[in-house]
Amino acid sequence: EFIEVAEVPEELLGNSARVVRRGAEKLGLHGQPLRRNARHCKGSGVCCFGCPTEAKRSANVTWVPAAVKAGARLFAGSKADRIELGKQHVVHAGALQLEADAVVVSAGTLHTPSLLWRSGVRHPALGRNVSIHPACKASALFDEEIRGWEGVPQGFGIHDLHGEGILFEGIFTPPEFGAFALPFVGAKLTQVMEQYAQMAAFGFLIEDRSVGVLRLDTSRPQLFYELGKPEMEKLRRGVDMLARIFFAAGAREVFAPVAGFESLRSLADIEGLRTARLSPAMFELSAFHPLGSCRASRDPSRGVVDQQLEAHDAQRLFVVDGSVFPSSLAVNPQLTIMAFAQRAARHVHARLSGAPRA
């Protein structure tokens, strides 16, 4: 309720989602409007640039103002350089030095381990075990006008393959963003972009068991991640299914983000993709959800933090962000991160009130 989660109403779904729903239903799949934290959404379609109307109830318009109202002091724009860990911790952030009985680090999966490393933490799980939810999309050209940039870009999902670790979600982006996500350049890209109003697009993320590792002894953390064969097969299956959905909806051409299969014109072309020898490097991918670089575990040798998210190696040092998840979530992580934060807040309060470690 606090972040105003509600189902996307039919009138804001947008035609790209409607086309996908039409194709999915023909194949016997079950799509549904997604539940989002944007109850007063106007469907302007520009979520990828930041919501201009604050309809999207992100942390900056929900949790942060609530914390300030409750007495928190915010040092906007300051970067924590390191934490001097001791009986009383000291956070160094540029010219600022803040003494604290407890410190909560929430710099995200890439930067939290980096900050802990700079603070002298050397746990063997620090910066390891990073999952990323590899994500992929496909677009398709139709004879009808779609104007996919109108409506909620991510308003619709298909959950039939979730058991296989594949989650389909809408992903239509405005042309200035969509252009660089198409697998073409030069004259072909121009020709495709001229028909942008007749295009639909849809994406999916996969649950990954492959894990990456962060290099922390550099000025910026660097992630090394190698996509495994099981993940590649999930990607192939996802692209295959999207292409079938688009053709069932009446597409004349499907653009797949797979080298050598950029243009699919028939079910026979999909069959070629299904049986081809592929390698992970042939897929054009994104990764919006890095998780896991400070894994939580009861076992001090496996987890950087314990089940209350307090560091095994330091008293009253907490990690509260996506880095604590022990494995890939297979769903968008924001809500779970927020739920973990609320749970952790109670433990921080208890520890500051003198409770011993659980």
Interaction pattern, residues 143-182, with ligand FAD; x per rule: CB under 6 A: -----------x----------------------------
Residue that the structure tokens 């779609």 belong to: 146
Q: Should residue 106 be labelled a site residue for ligand FAD when binding is judged by CB under 6 A?
A: yes
Candidates 321, 258, 326, 320; CA nearest to 292 is 326
Q: Should residue 231 be labelled a site residue for ligand FAD when binding is judged by CB under 6 A?
A: no
CA distances from 45 to 118, 137, 176, 221, 239 (A): 40, 17, 12, 32, 24
Q: Should residue 111 be labelled a site residue for ligand FAD when binding is judged by CB under 6 A?
A: yes
Catalytic residue among 111, 289, 312, 347: 289
Report yes or no: 234 and 163 within 8 Å, Cβ to Cβ.
no
CB of 284 to ligand SF4, least distance (A): 24
Considering only residues 277 to 336 of the shown chain, the ones binding ligand FAD according to CB under 6 A are 288-289, 321-322, 332-335
Residue that the structure tokens 């051409």 belong to: 253
CB of 19 to ligand SF4, least distance (A): 18
Nearer of residues 135 and 141 to ligand FAD, judged by Cβ: 135
For residue 247, give both structure tokens.
Answer: 């053709």
CB of 112 to ligand FAD, least distance (A): 7
Q: Which does 152 bind (CB under 5 to 8 A by kind): ligand FAD, ligand SF4, none?
A: ligand SF4
Nearer of residues 58 and 327 to ligand SF4, judged by Cβ: 58
Residues 237-252 as b/e (b if ≥16 CB within 10 A, e otherwise) read bbbbbbbbbbbbbebe
Q: Which does 332 bind (CB under 5 to 8 A by kind): ligand SF4, ligand FAD, none?
A: ligand FAD
Paired with 310 in beta bridges are 318
The residue nearest ligand FAD at its CB is: 334
Nearer of residues 198 and 334 to ligand FAD, judged by Cβ: 334
User: Which residue among 305, 309, 337, 348 contacts ligand FAD (CB under 6 A)?
Assistant: 337
Q: Which helix (H) or strand (E) holds 224?
A: strand 222-224
CA distance 194 to 6: 35
Q: Should residue 79 be labelled a site residue for ligand FAD when binding is judged by CB under 6 A?
A: yes
Three-state secondary structure call for residue 192: helix
Nearer of residues 64 and 189 to ligand FAD, judged by Cβ: 64
Nearer of residues 47 and 227 to ligand SF4, judged by Cβ: 47
User: Which residue among 4, 18, 43, 108 contacts ligand FAD (CB under 6 A)?
Assistant: 108
Size of the chain in residues: 358
| Whether residue 312 lies in the annotated active site | no
Q: Which does 56 bind (CB under 5 to 8 A by kind): ligand SF4, ligand FAD, none?
A: ligand SF4
CA distances from 288 to 36, 109, 110, 119, 201 (A): 17, 11, 12, 27, 17
CA distances from 183 to 138, 167, 194 (A): 10, 22, 15
Residue numbers of the site for ligand SF4 (CB under 6 A)? 38, 41-47, 51, 53, 55-56, 152
CB of 349 to ligand FAD, least distance (A): 19
Q: Which does 43 bind (CB under 5 to 8 A by kind): ligand FAD, ligand SF4, none?
A: ligand SF4
CA distance 91 to 89: 7
Residue partners of 95: CB distance under 8 A and separation at least 6: none
Q: Should residue 257 be labelled a site residue for ligand FAD when binding is judged by CB under 6 A?
A: no
String of DSSP letters for 232-243:
HHHHHHHHHHHH
The residues annotated as belonging to the active site are 289
| Residue ranges binding ligand FAD (CB under 6 A) | 79-80, 106-109, 111, 115, 154, 288-289, 321-322, 332-335, 337
